[in-house]
Structure 1
Amino acid sequence: MKVKQIAIFLENKSGRLADISHTLAENAINIRALSLADTADFGILRLVVNDTNKAQQVLKENGFTVGITEVLVVEVPDKPGALDCILQVVRKAGLNVEYMYAFTKKSGESGMLLFRFDDQDAAVEVFQKAGCRLLSDDEVHAL
């Protein structure tokens, strides 16, 4: 029920993000979801791609610092209040969200909420008990 995500550390320098997108494009790697956060000195690009292992390999070969982490992907209806419904489950369970980002598969149909919790296993249990649909790595890669 956990999905592999690539975390890339990149210096805050013009063109670095384009270098990454170009490397992935040249290697036929499709980005499913992304999040970019920055500090004064560097950024953290988080990606869910269709081929995590290949992406990690080609990015490392091109000099990027790459790590693999796991996130939980919760499918929700693409409608007002869907995020709140999930966050109320999170709040009630006392889960701590380290970060999250989202994408919509098809407008008006379903959205995907990607979460990183300080206790991923506890979060899986909470979501399963609440009847939330967690997507697998294969399901996310097939989108």
Structure 2
Amino acid sequence: MDTPAFCTEASGSELPFDAFARTCPSRETLEHVTGRWGSLTVGALREGPCRFNELRRRVEGVSEKMLSQTLHALERDGIVNREAQPTNPPRVDYELTPLGVEVADRLLSLIHFLEGSMPEVLTARQTYDDARGAR
């Protein structure tokens, strides 16, 4: 079923997809991609296909349950492809779809920008904390 390029507001009017609109489905996808585990998972998969445990080791701190939920959501959104090999034991690989590659490239640009800006961020945090502690 094709999804129309509109979302419906609470008032019932149709608008182009707009993540700022409460009922727009793009908001849910944005949450899947930009949440802590979603962004790290997509970024990690940009390096190439991974098996579940490889991905779990790469994304340090994610629980098995959270990674599984994240992968399911990203697969449903068409960002990740899951391929099960008919072997014994079963082998499952995860990789980005073409859409997922585009999303990953944009996320990694932001991640690299933030990593490079950390001295400024840490200085700002210290200044903030010092000002609040002085009160």
**Same-fold call, TM > 0.5?**
no
Greater relative contact order, per chain length (Cα 8 Å cut-off, separation 6+): 1
More strand as a share of residues? 1
TM-score normalized with structure 2 length: 0.29
TM-score normalized with structure 1 length: 0.28
More helix as a share of residues? 2
Q: Which has the larger radius of gyration?
A: 2
